[in-house]
Chains A and B, each alone.
Chain A
């Protein structure tokens, strides 16, 4: 019964979404405010209906109702509760339901938090948002219904793919979707602005927090996915330039560009057209990511459904959404008045440069991702584009961006004297030089990647700190006064400082993990010792252990540095009761300067094949990613986002005042 309620709520939600998508747009074209107002309540109704629907599916999973096809295919009674719940989105149908639920959540949030938005803009935004929901609800109801019943109810289910039974991956999809789908709001705002033909500072101020929130979620989602790959796939890598990873990375790059260009619109009224364009691109890439991942056109280390019907449906949605918005953009874009002239060397100029590089990078990833498909389509052979390509292309493209990142915030709006900025940075130059030389001395001459990367990271980190020091006039006024200034810095400044500093940490982590990894593969017998990067591993034992729904082979190592005991590492090779593939749980001990990482493989002769790694600075990668996200959150709490935009709000206040 509950399942049918869920199904029914889903159909009702489609009805509501159609009304919300069509009526306000028609009403606003004749300026009928009463009918425009329907968008708000409709968005709340739509959200509640989808909540009911999602809750019904979750209930079916939690109670292991195997009369539902989707549950029977993806769940099992002896799965731990966490994975029963995460099983809801651990499959195609359920994850699409989560997708629309998040779409509706964002719509509802605009209604709830956007009280000061003008009625016209708000209802148009909600209408566009709802049209996207209509598309995806139809997709679910017609091609991937999670509520489909089974006639012959099995005694137990097929369980979730063992690889996905993991805490990191339980939360990876929701975060990724919150990010992906979050860009839909920026898109809807952009569409609404194009329909209205008006983009101004207040528009940018309304759009920015939503973009920022989506960006934070996407950052965390990508980070979780990367972390999972690191400890679960058992070979110590954290980014593979896999097409599926690229599918989430492209919206992230475009979203990052959008975040920065929206600042220019908000502060200076320039780059309006460009910002609208980026909003379309960011969400378009999210949709394309969904298409690539869901349709099975990509070959990747992930295994995905190859259902042509679903692929074509999403492709049509993609064409309508992107084609339609570009048509509208071509029609209305030119009439958006520019403004805020600036010189090339200025804050705006550096933000524009940031945008060029980020969009170029997006284009390169897009090219690399689609190139094999293109080559295959013209029947010129089968190729794959992997890490060597991206490493070669990405480093030269991103380096200027990182260099400029330290300088941009120091520049003033409109025009800056480049020489004056550059001459103040002696400490930054010094620190960078020290970092390069120190890396060279410590690590020797093993490729330029190491000291180049460390130099870049130091440049950015010290540049960010220098900027903060200048803002609080450190050393130019009394220390107490500087501290007062430090406390009074706007949250947005704090957000930027934290995020940029986080990127510096991440770059250092990437450099370390990428250049100085030590990997040893060998056969070891019990009691045998091996030195890896100064740590002595002793292979202690292997035994069988029993988990909640799997048997595992547990290998134990003790690790010493000199005579000092460091830790005991236990890795597992799990075989799940329901069959499926065995999984490897690497044993990892994280330290400030690197991770000890051990995996036990098959039996070989008298011993076992073991893989022991020293993964330097990996903790910095995750730490830096968290700082990036934290910077976004801090910036989100900035006063101006809470107060709202001044311009139009003042007008509204004035008219209200006149009425009173």
Chain B
């Protein structure tokens, strides 16, 4: 084989490999990314896809946290103060999960209920997840820095400015 032909082959092999990687990445991006919605956006959607992982964020509604009959499934609603979504989560809720606190949950929809397999409450009690802050701002019920006590009778006042760092 001549040097030029060999170089051509090398380039071709390289391009094929690159193409393969790009295909895998694009396919994975198409299927495996998780979309984030606020409760209002979910309500506005006509059809909620049940085969797509969805992440929703908001506040855990006051007095909404209950245990199902099996004792380990938690039922609660996540609200952006305009609309609420029912969530079911089997397992131990994170330590910082409280009513009135910001929460992000992820899973698949079954009807109008999100069957969550992941519940994220943030590591610091003064901290509001940016996604939640966004959802609340979008619903028009809350502005940055404004206390939430009016809307939520219970618990802490989430304050996005006071985020503790580490």
Contact = CB atoms under 8 A, between A and B. Distances in A.
A140 to B, nearest CB: 14
Interface stretch (A35-43, A54-62, A303-311): A303-311
B120 interface: yes
A161 interface: yes
Size class of A's contact patch? 35 or more
Given A392-B32, A609-B92, A303 B24 contact: no
Interface string A367-406: 1000110000000011111101100110011000000000
Interface string B21-62: 100110111011111110000000000000001010000000
A384 B125 contact: no
Contact of B95 (A372, A397, A522, A583): A583
Main secondary structure of the interface of A (DSSP, over half): mixed
Interface in A125-176: 161, 163-164
Interface stretch (B75-83, B108-116, B145-153, B157-165): B157-165
Contacts of A344: 10
A604 B67 contact: yes
Contacts of A382: 35-37, 131, 134
A304 B165 contact: yes
A389 B120 CA distance: 19
A607 B71 contact: yes
A599 B92 contact: yes
B96 interface: yes
Nearest to B37: A382
Interface in B58-75: 67, 70-72
Contact of A360 (B21, B34, B67, B163): B21
A601 interface: yes
A581 B24 contact: no
B86 interface: no
Contact of A364 (B17, B25, B122, B131): B25
B107 interface: no
A579 B91 contact: no
A344 B9 CA distance: 11
Interface string A295-331: 0100101111111000000000000000000000000
A515 to B, nearest CB: 17
B24 A393 contact: yes
A584 interface: yes
Given A389-B32, A599-B92, A523 B72 contact: yes
Contacts of B131: 299, 382
A50 B17 CA distance: 48
B155 interface: no
B101 to A, nearest CB: 10
B123 A163 contact: yes
Contacts of A605: 71
A389 B67 contact: no
Given A583-B95, A584-B95, A389 B127 contact: no
Interface of B: 10, 17, 21, 24-25, 27-29, 31-37, 53, 55, 67, 70-72, 90-93, 95-96, 120, 122-125, 127, 129-131, 134, 160, 163-166
Closest 3 CB pairs of A and B: A305-B165, A382-B36, A523-B71
18 contacts: A95-B166, A303-B127, A303-B165, A304-B163, A304-B165, A307-B165, A382-B36, A386-B32, A386-B33, A397-B21, A397-B24, A521-B92, A522-B71, A523-B70, A523-B72, A581-B96, A601-B93, A604-B67
Given A303-B166, A389-B29, A583-B95, 14 more contacts: A95-B166, A294-B165, A299-B130, A301-B123, A303-B123, A304-B163, A305-B163, A382-B36, A384-B55, A389-B33, A392-B24, A392-B27, A523-B71, A581-B124
